[in-house]
Structure 1
Amino acid sequence: MRLVPFGSLTEDDFTAWRAIRDGDSRWDSPYFTPEYIAAVHAGQPVDVLLGDGFVWPLHKTGSSARPAGSPGADFQGPLLEPGVRFSPRRILTDVGIRCLSFDHLLDGYRDLDPYVEERRTSPVMDVSGGLDGYTKRVTKSGRDKMSEARRLTSKVSRELGPVEFTVEATEGLGRVIAMKREQYASTGAKDHFADQANQDLLYRLHAGNLGVLSTVYAGPHLLAAHFGIRSGEVLHWWFPVYDRKFGTYSPGWILLREMVMAAPRLGINRIDLGRGEDEYKRRAMTGSSTVCIGAVASGPRTTVRRISRAAVTAAKASPLAPQLKAIARRFR
């Protein structure tokens, strides 16, 4: 295998990349497109590990590497032609690193399975057939929320002003980022957009063909918005936000319902909600995929990672977990 700077890839390299992706729906997420990696590379250098029937874009830093776009990329892993096998240990040698970590690796890579430390559910919504098709597949809980969103849309129209949904807005990304940062601050979550590079990536994606900014207004009021990325029939639900002062109207569900209704005219059949345990994902999902956390590491690094991961898992399972989380937020 050879490690090639993204900017040095040839047309033949891109042709091979697209052929592998087009040949298997496993990689139909926009995270596996050359266009997404190009947007990432514009802000942080990407090197691509190439082999026969093998493509894996990576960030290399010192003696370690991680999938390109990590930790923001919700799906990761090499693109492989059918039947291709590889040696993860050999990758360390070929790239010149001691550790290759991943946090959203698609499940099912036989050669990487021994290095998986934890598996997580990544909910999806099958929206083929629009709202009618979706409500036939989702659970009663999800149907109830969609019905509630319909009623609340009418209520919002009466009380705040006519509801207007724009599926591909050209303006407002800065406001969405600001609202997301306020949400991070209010919940104590790590601020993804404290790093200006992460903000810049969204602007590049929005300016290109992948970014999709959607908004719901009631009169002059922005109720909710979402920025995601789209490729073919797949929309990845990435950064949803809503105005907390309108929380009683369930603006997030109003937005999601509008997107499901718009799916047929957009040619979207699936919405990937991404890894997470949010209640709305549990209610809205019609199925799920699995993503993995782990690392290929040399020497004692493997043992250290497994011990650390076991300690974290034990802490989460502890009755003291809520108190530990509260303490951790104070020091962020």
Structure 2
Amino acid sequence: MKIDVVRPRDLGEPELSAWRQMRRASPHLASPWLAPEFAQAVSHVRDTARVAVIWEDTDLAGFLPFEPCGPRAARPLAAWLTLAQGLVHRPGFETDGSDLLKGCGLDVFEFEYLVGGQPWFTSDENRTAMLLDLESGYDGYIKFFRETSPKSYKTIAYKERKIQRDIGPLTYEYASNDHFGALLRWKSDQYRRIGRADRTAKPWVAALIERLRDVQTPEFSAPLSVLKIGDRPVAAHFGLVSEGVMAGWFPAYDPELGSYSPGLIHHLRLVEAAAARGLRHIDTGTAGDYKQTICNGTLPLSEGVARRPGAASALHWLRTAPARRIKRTIVGNPRLHALADRALKMRGRA
């Protein structure tokens, strides 16, 4: 096994074609977060972005996108944003995790949302992504929703009628060139309300979003879907699409119209449009209360740290292990998690 570490933006068409083919051959690698187009876009806005190109003799065998997070330590590319991470590889690929890290010039690789089929990385904790499974089409999804959450379905239908009666007719556009500014304002306001860091305020994230909006190819796209009343946007979503999968990223709605639940109305319109375009599922990220109601599928993920013996690995453990242990304790204890969430929301309102 031979490994070359390069910037994703420097990959040539043979490497990009092989990367796409590997994802196409393995459904668990279909997430847009693992697409070469995403890695290249990140590479154009973050000079630290790297990808390990793995060779077996003269054949390409895999690609591991990453960026440094300390001495001989790395995490997945744009890990702060992505909800699917890991090594993209050809079917049947086998390797040893220690050899893989050594070839990348690393002693540590930490991850939060590792996709399945990655035995070379040892995980510490299992996680679950919530999916909107569209294999049975829109009618199949609606049948599931009506049967499992009849009250929620009726409430959304009632509010859709009410908002149109009170304000005006709704229109929906799957891929719009307008109203992106409104989405970002709503999302920033939401982050403040819940006391979370505003991802969209980071200059490199804003630059990445703008670059992704310009990528519209058969292999990858980043549609902005908008629900409107006349020329007024009321809800929107910016996501990534590749290999029949949509990665939900930035959904938001006009808080002035929150009583009408425009976000949930938009959700059903998005599902209908995605199913009509042949998408297999929409990845909404890890669990949340409302996702338990609207989602009809799951995807296993894992969190952990892969290490090689050495001084850099030991220093990384000393620096990060206490914080990781505290985080797991809080997340695993419903009472502590609720208190932490309440504290963040109070800070956001301050």
Q: TM-score, normalised by structure 2?
A: 0.86
1:182 CA displacement: 0.6
Q: 1: distance between equivalents of 2:17 and 2:127?
A: 32
- The answer to which of 216-225 and 197-206 deviates more is 216-225
Aligned position for 1:247 = 258
1:214 aligns with 2:214: no
Aligned position for 2:8 = 6
Aligned position for 1:159 = 166
State how 1:156-235 maps to structure 2 within 5 Å: 156-209=163-216, 210-235=221-246
Match of 1:294 among 274, 296, 304: 304
- The answer to which of 196-205 and 84-93 deviates more is 84-93
Q: 2: distance between equivalents of 1:315 and 1:254?
A: 33
- The answer to which of 282-291 and 62-71 deviates more is 62-71
Q: Deviations over 1:166-199 (max 9, x none)?
A: 1111112122111100100011111112211111
Aligned position for 1:310 = 325
Q: Deviations over 1:229-282 (max 9, x none)?
A: 1114211111100112211211111001111222343222311111232x2211
CA RMSD of superposed structures (Å): 2.3
**How many pairs does the alignment contain?**
329
1:296–1:302 Cα contact (<8 Å) kept: no
Aligned in 2, Cα 1:199/1:133: closer, same or farther, shift over 3 Å?
same
Aligned position for 2:310 = none
Q: 2: distance between equivalents of 1:153 and 1:221?
A: 16
- The share of aligned pairs that are identical, in percent, is 26
2:193–2:345 Cα contact (<8 Å) kept: no
1:259 aligns with 2:259: no
Unaligned ranges ≥5, structure 1:
none
1:166–1:215 Cα contact (<8 Å) kept: yes
1:152 CA displacement: 1.7
- Residue 40 of structure 2 aligns to which amino acid in structure 1? A
Aligned in 2, Cα 1:331/1:248: closer, same or farther, shift over 3 Å?
closer
Q: 1: distance between equivalents of 2:275 and 2:199?
A: 32
- Residue 93 of structure 1 aligns to which amino acid in structure 2? K
Aligned position for 2:127 = 120
1:173–1:203 Cα contact (<8 Å) kept: no
1:314 CA displacement: 2.1
1:50 CA displacement: 1.6
1:38 CA displacement: 1.4
1:29–1:236 Cα contact (<8 Å) kept: yes
2:51–2:65 Cα contact (<8 Å) kept: yes
Q: TM-score, normalised by structure 1?
A: 0.90
- The answer to which of 299-308 and 154-163 deviates more is 299-308
